[in-house]
Amino acid sequence: MAEREVRKTKRKRENVVFFIVVYNPTFYSWLLTYFEASDISIIDRSNTFRWKHSSCQLNSLVKKTNSVRRTVLLYRQRLEKRCSDLQMAEAEVDLLGDEVDTLLRLLEKIYIGLDHYLPVLQHYPGIIEILKLIRKELWGDSAKPVK
């Protein structure tokens, strides 16, 4: 569109310049200045249009970039939260594992104590069953038999 205006202006200039140069040389210099200003204004309008168009495109890209940044920030926050939750869960599992180990050691000591007094406790059938269950839990079925 701007190119067509430039060509049209050049054609006008060529036609007018021919007559002016022949009839009035001082007017020619004024006219030349006028047409140069006209060309500059056409170029300025073209550049303004390009600048506005580029500005609109850039604003669109800025909005998209900001949206992507917000999304990345949201995902990063979610990831950090999940990592924090996972670390807390790992710490809790470690504590529970330590507690299980402590309880298993206590259960083993109870088993050793009951096994030591087995000859006296044989008259109580429930004690024998408890010893079997404890042995099964601590060592599996292949452990030493209850007397």
User: What ranges do the domains of the chain cover?
Assistant: 2-85
Give, for all 147 residues of the chain, the pLDDT tens digit: 678 887 777 777 776 656 656 666 666 566 567 666 666 666 667 777 777 777 788 888 888 889 999 999 999 999 999 999 999 999 999 999 999 999 999 999 988 988 888 888 888 888 888 888 888 888 876 555 544
Residues 90, 96: Cα–Cα separation, whole Å = 10
Predicted confidence at residue 141, as pLDDT, reads 67
Q: Which of 35, 40, 4 is nearest to 17 (CA)?
A: 35
Residues 58, 20: Cα–Cα separation, whole Å = 47
Predicted confidence at residue 43, as pLDDT, reads 66
For the entire predicted model, the pTM comes to 0.46
Predicted confidence at residue 147, as pLDDT, reads 47
Long-range contacts of 73-82 (CB under 8 A, 24+ apart): none
Q: Which of 114, 104, 115, 107 is nearest to 145 (CA)?
A: 115
